[in-house]
Amino acid sequence: MSDIIQLLPDHVANQIAAGEVVQRPASVVKELLENSIDAGASCIKLILKDAGKTLIQVIDDGKGMSVTDARLSFERHATSKIRAAEDLFQLHTKGFRGEALASIAAIAHVEMKTKQEDQELGTHLKIEGSKVTYQEMASTPTGTSISVKNLFYNIPARRNFLKSDTVETRHIIDEFQRISLAHPEITFSLHHNSNEVYRLSESNLRKRVVSIFGSKMNEKLVPIEEETEMISISGFVAKPEYAKKKRGEQFFFVNDRFVKSPYLHHAVVAAFDGLLEQGSHPSYFLYLKVPTKSIDINIHPTKTEVKFDDEKALYAILRATVKHSLGQYSIAPVLDFNRDSNLDTPYDFSKKTSVPSTPKITVDPTFNPFKTETKRESSSSVGSTYVPKKETTSWESLYVATEEKVEQEDLFETTSEHHQANKTFQIQKKYLLSSIKSGVVLIHQSLAHQRVLYEEFLESITVKEVSSQQLLFPITISFSSAEIETIYTLKSDLESVGFDFDEFTKESVTIKGTPPSISESKITNVLEELLANVDLDVPDTNYNPFDVMAKSFAKSLAIKTGTYLSQKEQENLVNNLFSCKEPSIAPDGRATFKTLTLNEIDQLFQG
């Protein structure tokens, strides 16, 4: 029998490696930016076209490469960071994969210009699908410029799986933010389709955070600082009152590398215990320095996960540090034994000459807690009056509601006597219970309202003529630069559903008109919900901005759990839900109602 195992050709091996290294344009951005940082650059420029699908260019003023290094950098397993296996556990640099440039060159057109400071001329390389098509000496500044064009040009199936430009740009901005937050000492800039999104000058950490997330962030930050033998912690957490409904500005950096750690995230959330509203998420920018031997950063292909030697100790230190800082800045409640002026004797009262008399207390000497209570005559005296409890037959009667009507209203929340025979009841201000011929139907009021609003919005967007209600006074809403960029890319779509924009700046947007169904007080919530939904991984072929908008509007404007509904409102919601084209499914795919048949109910009570 002939041999069947064979070695893969290099270009095929590179394409397979590219599957691990390059999932999307943001993956290329991460690799190139990290290489520039490792090259000692003090200024890095990122240029994008069409969310990186057409062009990703990174220009730095680092130390550059020699002719030999420039060529070797595109070979597999080529790295300047590792000489032996032990080096993997003593890494202080970022780009140590050894597959990155080779993988990128296998699936794109790559052009590189690089020069070292002591050279008169640099090297100019062009590579297409792992093949070097051009190599010459060239006049170029000290440093390196790499252009990656037509990503996935030779793997159309992979290109088809990329998301919309808006979503891919959001992923690139996420990577850019993480890297620029880790290195405030470096100047960064980001240009997308000739539009400058960021220009971040060399600064300290606080200024870097503010320059990325907007000037209003400055007042929200609480500094964190702790130094132990095991770990050094610095950075900021946002004050609890600025917590967000969506997880967003949460950054952990270990040895200047962005990481994701659910375990350490839990430690931070635990420090905010009792300070956050239900469903709110704290923002934080935390920098941890640990000995390189105590962590393993190489456990995941994207190197965003990390494994620590002693996680329990780190958890305790981090939680205590954040909690201490919140208390130190009078954000968390702390014990204070200083005199509280609010407890002083009031000024007017201190002038009075009369001394208040001490009230007298009368105790019933015949009272026995272990006996059944009986009616007694009330006795009165100067200080207080003893009023015996109403006679009860046993201690269990203490758990009986004082009025049966109150109990009925709390369970079913009916509104008037003539509605008692109605088939719809509200339970715990969350569900609607409705009787049907075959049993009962339990409806989730918020999800049901989302379905109703979703279909109404889609109808108004696609069928009805679009109208806009002009605001009496235009309102200006603050966002981060990245969020402004996203809203701007959706500007024409938002205008087509009724929004009317007045002005865009780097940190705010002014709105002078909205769709008639959106009140002025809801505009911020609607746009924040839209920004969160844009991040959904929707394939480019099926991406529909109007559908995303309809889902966002419906979710942000629907009645919430905890909202009381009158009998009329309950009936309207039920009728509107079952008038929908798809009444059983909420816009996010969850069920809007569940049905219990009489047989299923009977089975609940069978022994």
pLDDT digits (tens, 9 = 90+) for 573-599: 999 998 888 899 998 888 999 998 888
Q: What average pLDDT does the segment 95-122 reach?
A: 84
Report residue 372's pLDDT band, with 50, 70 and 90 as the boundaries: low
- At 356, is the pLDDT very low, low, confident or very high (cuts 50, 70, 90)? low
The three state secondary structure string of 384-423 is: CEECCCCCCCCHHHHHCCCCHHHHHHHHHCCCCHHHCCCC
Nearest one of 529, 532, 527, 505 to 514, comparing CA atoms: 527
Q: State which H helix or E strand residue 259 sits in.
A: strand 257-259
Percent of the chain with pLDDT over 90: 32
For the ranges 52-61, 87-96, 382-391, 541-550, the lowest mean pLDDT is seen at 382-391
**Averaged over 294-313, what is the pLDDT?**
69
Structure tokens at 240: 């609890």
- Report the C-alpha gap between 192 and 187 in whole angstroms: 17
Query: Which residues, 6+ apart, have CB-to-CB distance to 441 below 8 Å?
Result: 433, 434, 593, 594, 595, 596
CA distances from 300 to 144, 236, 272, 332, 526 (A): 28, 27, 30, 37, 36
d(CA 504, CA 488): 8
Instruction: State the DSSP code for 383.
Output: S
Reported as a single tens digit per residue, the pLDDT across 15-38 is 666 666 788 999 999 999 999 999
Considering the domain 205-328 in this protein, what is its CATH number?
Answer: 3.30.230.10
pLDDT band at 233 (very low <50, low <70, confident <90, very high): very high
Average pLDDT over residues 28-56: 94
165-182 and 205-213 helices cross at what angle (nearest 10)?
170
Give the integer Cα–Cα distance in Å for 589 and 578: 17
Bridge pairing between strands 143-149 and 221-227: unpaired
Q: What pLDDT shows up at residue 394?
A: 47
Place of tokens 């979710």: 555
pTM for the predicted model, two decimal places: 0.64
- Where does the pLDDT of residue 377 fall: very low under 50, low under 70, confident under 90, or very high at 90 and above? very low
Distance CA 61, CA 70 (A): 16
> What CATH number does domain 10-200 carry, 2.60.120.1440, 3.30.1490.190, 3.30.565.10, 3.30.200.20?
3.30.565.10
Please write the tens of the pLDDT for every residue from 156-190.
Answer: 888 888 888 888 998 999 999 999 999 999 999 99
* H, E, C per residue of 423-440: CEEEECCCEEEEEECCEE
> What 3-state class would DSSP assign to 452?
helix
Task: Read off the pLDDT of residues 497-516 as tens digits, 9 standing for 90 and up.
Answer: 888 998 888 888 999 998 88
Q: Which residue has the tokens 């026995």?
A: 368
Mean pLDDT on 189-211 = 93
User: For residue 550, which amino acid is it?
Assistant: A
The pLDDT score that the predictor gives to residue 79 is: 58
Q: Of residues 396 and 554, which shows the higher confidence score?
A: 554
pLDDT of residue 97: 42
pLDDT band at 417 (very low <50, low <70, confident <90, very high): very low
Q: Which residues does 255 contact at the CB level (< 8 Å), separation at least 6?
A: 92, 288, 289, 290, 292, 295
CATH 3.30.230.10 domain range(s) in the chain: 205-328
Specify whether the CB–CB gap between 174 and 25 falls below 8 A: no
Which pLDDT value is given to residue 15?
65
Q: Element (H or E) spanning 288, and its range?
A: strand 284-289
What's the whole-number mean pLDDT along residues 328-344? 53
Give me the residues paired with residue 187 across strands: 43
Q: What is the pLDDT of residue 40?
A: 93
What's the angle, vertex CA 212, arms to CA 211 and CA 216, rounded to 5? 65
Q: Is the pLDDT of residue 348 over 50?
A: no
* Token pair 């048949």 in the structure block, residue: 597
Q: What is the DSSP string of 44-58?
A: EEEEEEGGGTSEEEE
Residue 528 is given by DSSP the state H
567-577 helix and 445-462 helix, angle to the nearest 10 degrees? 60
Classified by CATH at the fold level, domain 403-607 comes out as Ribosomal Protein S8; Chain: A, domain 1 (3.30.1370)
User: Please, which pLDDT band fits residue 357 given cuts at 50, 70 and 90?
Assistant: low
Average predicted confidence (pLDDT) for the chain: 79
Distance (Å) of CA 63 to CA 60, 67, 452: 9, 13, 60
Inform me whether the pLDDT recorded for 378 exceeds 50.
Answer: no
Between 62-66, 270-274, 366-370, 423-427, the lowest mean confidence (pLDDT) is in 366-370
Q: What percent of the chain has pLDDT over 70?
A: 75
Residue limits of CATH 3.30.565.10 in the chain: 10-200
What does the pLDDT average to over 242-268? 86
Output 59 or 402, whichever has higher pLDDT.
59
Q: Which residues contact 164 (CB under 8 A, 6 or more apart)?
A: 538, 540, 543, 545
pLDDT at 126: 94
Residues spanned by CATH 3.30.1370.100 within the chain? 403-607
Residue 563 has pLDDT above 80, yes or no: yes
Strongest mean pLDDT among 260-264, 444-448, 459-463, 506-510: 444-448
DSSP state of 85: G
